[in-house]
Structure 1
Amino acid sequence: MKAITAKHLWSFPLLFGFLGGIIGLVLRYAFTGSIANFPFKFVLHSHSHIMLLGFVFNALIVLLFTRFTNGIDTTSYRLYLALQVCVAVLLVGFIIQGYALVTITFSTLHLWISYCLVIRLWKRLVGKKSDLILIKTGSIFHFISSIGPYALGPLMALKMQASPWYEQAIFFYLHFQYFGSFFLWMLAILFQKTTIRLTKKQMSLLVGAITLLYAHSLQYSFNHLAIQIVGSIGSIALFLFFLKLKKSFSNQKLQYQLFFGTLLFIGILNCFGSIPYFSNLVITNRFMLIAWLHFLFLGMYLPFIWMELGTKIRQSIWVVYIVFLLTSEAFLLFPTFFSELFATSIMWLLFIAYFGVVLCISVVHLTALFQKNKIDELTRTR
């Protein structure tokens, strides 16, 4: 099994990350109005699912199995392959029919198979206690997050698609994935590499912060002082958690120091998100929401996965990627200003910025895919 691990485990997140980026770029091009009768909603569903499940989830699962177990066993490997079949069907299915019988079936199947894989991972974990607690807590959040998708069926049956609860079911799932399972799994991998050990108080502070931060999602549907207060407490708790780790990261490698800076910045942004003025901006301005989600994905998860990929990425690629990423964020935050500055539609400016981002993703993923396949072939011939 070890002889094929490099190729078969990493091939899928690298490939799906590349395809998801290309689909996103096509979506950006379509938003310029250059493609008539384009199925925006269908393609958007395909893009988001592939990047979320095919890239981030896959990559983190690979890192957890390779870093915290004695190697993936045959049954777990087959479950992992089954997940890839589901993702491939979703990629095509969403583009063709959106949310319908096939995509709902395979989304549910992916969720059930992921349960089995996460449980098998749990039983095989080895490593320092604080890291394993993070992984296990993240796994619990993975199960908790699925309450959201399960609620969609009954809500549809009750014809409540237009109710705020339908939207909240989706937000519930996304929050406890983005800031639940994915976030804690990422931190476990990060802390293992940096030999940081969390205390029980730090662990409680982190888990409490993540739970309370769901209040930010509730603000999209409900306007209540209590929700704002709970979200503020969660934001401050998360910021304090990262602030207490500042000394621990001061002695780490430069790339981990820079990544910690990103985490600290995200903590600060969450605090700003608790202020009514800024939270209302995100709620009422779709570009602001996209800027936040893309920053989490392209500014945190993707760079982290690249750091842990085990493939050397040229500094020039990093620089170009960061420049285009920050440019795209600036365009989303100040669309009118940049549209007037360049006398060009903001949609064309965003397409150009994301073209640079996707170009970097393509170079990194295809290069890494080739290198890992080459390493695998060398391993099997020995």
Structure 2
Amino acid sequence: MNLKTHTKTALLYFVFAAALGCILRFYKVLDIPITYKFIVHAHSHVALLGWVYLGLTTLLYKLYLSKSDIETKYSKIFWFTQVTIIGMLLTFPFQGYALFSIVFSTLFLFASYWFSWFFFKNVPAKYYSTQSLKCAKVAIVYLLISSIGPWALGGIMNTLGAASIWYRMAIYFYLHFIYNGWMIMALVAILFYIFEKQGMLMPESDFKKFFWKLNLGIVLSFLLSTLFTKPTIFYYILGGVGAVLQLWAFYDLLKLMKEHWCSVKNIFSPFYVRIVKVIVLLWAIKMLLQLLSSAPYFADLAILYLDFTIGYLHLTFLGVVTISLFLFLDYFQLLILNKKLYLVYIFGFILTEVLIFYKGITSWQSITLFTSYYLVLAVASLLILVAVLSMLINSNKGKLKN
């Protein structure tokens, strides 16, 4: 089974997601005959379930399962998953949440359950005591927990309706545990796997503290997603504690890397080291913003001005998660990450983030946007599309190197 093909497939979904994102950006500039919210649904589903999910599951398979005699079984899971993702790509843009898109998104949940069961059943015993596998297993548990959100949406829509706070709560529940839980923990697992192969082990007592701080932080910080309901101050405090615990665990991880910095530089090329520094910076910003949102004033800002929330989500998905995926996929020789294209992607990402947060600030401070704002944002989004599409083309050629 060619895992490089799986990676190219994931990258192709990223191209589709980026193209849909560009359509959303140019909608404010050109007269495009689309239903905006339908494209939003398609964009988010293909980005999260096509690019990120497939990228992470491909890495987890390569690290823990690729040497087992289970290729045929996994191939069935892979292709079933592709049917569900392609189905969502072909239905969401034209009908939004309706019969066929709901069918395919529901089938995807079953595909994720199938992969989860398959992973737990087939991981070789030699990995059982490793710190990386403990992180990988809890990441998959969060993937399963996140699915409660989509299941709840059906019942909420049929009873309370989309205007209910429980509708938003189900969406936020899903998003929180999919990115703070599944994605972040899976990336941590992959990082620990690399460190373990190089003998860079965190002392077991320190790992237990790190593990519990990070996971308790993930669970408690979900309360920050409920603050739009204006709950009691107790929720703000617990959510803030969750954010602090995640920052504390992040510090522990940085401390480990600092102690073994010479080894880190031996593991990673100078190009990789620069990428790691970018990821660390973006991850720190993400968690500081999360902590900031536990203060009532800033929580209200995030609720009132949607651009702050969109900027934060893009910071997480396009920044922390995607750049980490680029690094790990290239490290394990599943993707060719060209320096110039990476820089184009980074430039497009930073420019769009600055513009999105700028719009939030102008709304907050009642400042007028500069005249060509939407055109500049649309063009900046094109940079991301061009970078990802070029990465895919180069991967198919298989010639370009760092």
Give the TM-score taking structure 1 as reference length.
Answer: 0.90
User: Matched residue of 1:160: which SS?
Assistant: coil
Other-structure match for 2:378: 351
Do the aligned partners of 2:22 and 2:382 also contact (CA within 8 Å) in 1?
Answer: yes
Matched, 1:302 2:322: yes
Tell me which of 220, 224, 243 is aligned to 2:251.
243
Do the aligned partners of 2:286 and 2:312 also contact (CA within 8 Å) in 1?
Answer: no
Other-structure match for 1:104: 102
User: Matched residue of 1:99: which SS?
Assistant: coil
Do the aligned partners of 2:337 and 2:391 also contact (CA within 8 Å) in 1?
Answer: yes
Q: In the TM superposition, what is the alpha-carbon distance from 1:289 to its structure 2 partner?
A: 1.0
In structure 2, what is the Cα distance between the partners aligned to 1:235 and 1:50?
28
Give 5+ residue unaligned stretches, structure 2: 266-272
Matched, 1:151 2:169: no
Matched, 1:326 2:350: yes
Matched, 1:290 2:310: yes
Q: In the TM superposition, what is the alpha-carbon distance from 1:18 to its structure 2 partner?
A: 1.0
Tell me which of 358, 363, 372 is aligned to 2:390.
363
In structure 1, what is the Cα distance between the partners aligned to 2:135 and 2:165?
32
Give 5+ residue unaligned stretches, structure 1: 375-382
Q: Which has the higher contact order (CA 8 A, sep 6+)?
A: 1
Q: Which amino acid aligns with 1:202?
A: F
Other-structure match for 1:192: 193
Q: Which amino acid aligns with 1:119?
A: W
* CA offsets 1:107-141 (integer angstroms, 9 cap, x no match): 11110121011111122224352111111111111
Do the aligned partners of 1:12 and 1:84 also contact (CA within 8 Å) in 2?
Answer: no
Give the TM-score taking structure 2 as reference length.
Answer: 0.86
Q: Which amino acid aligns with 2:338?
A: R
1:50-65 matches, cutoff 5 A: 50-65=46-61
Do the aligned partners of 2:336 and 2:398 also contact (CA within 8 Å) in 1?
Answer: no
Do the aligned partners of 1:86 and 1:106 also contact (CA within 8 Å) in 2?
Answer: yes
Do the aligned partners of 2:338 and 2:391 also contact (CA within 8 Å) in 1?
Answer: no
* CA offsets 1:132-181 (integer angstroms, 9 cap, x no match): 11111111111111111111122122133211011101111111101111
Matched, 1:66 2:62: yes
**What percentage of aligned pairs have identical amino acids?**
28
Q: Which moved more, 1:303-312 or 1:226-235?
A: 303-312
User: Matched residue of 2:229: which SS?
Assistant: coil
Q: In the TM superposition, what is the alpha-carbon distance from 1:343 to its structure 2 partner?
A: 4.2
Other-structure match for 1:377: none
User: Matched residue of 1:245: which SS?
Assistant: helix
Q: Which amino acid aligns with 1:27?
A: L
In structure 2, what is the Cα distance between the partners aligned to 1:12 and 1:110?
16
Do the aligned partners of 1:249 and 1:256 also contact (CA within 8 Å) in 2?
Answer: no
In structure 2, what is the Cα distance between the partners aligned to 1:324 and 1:5?
28
In structure 2, what is the Cα distance between the partners aligned to 1:319 and 1:96?
34
Do the aligned partners of 2:345 and 2:387 also contact (CA within 8 Å) in 1?
Answer: yes
In structure 2, what is the Cα distance between the partners aligned to 1:234 and 1:159?
30
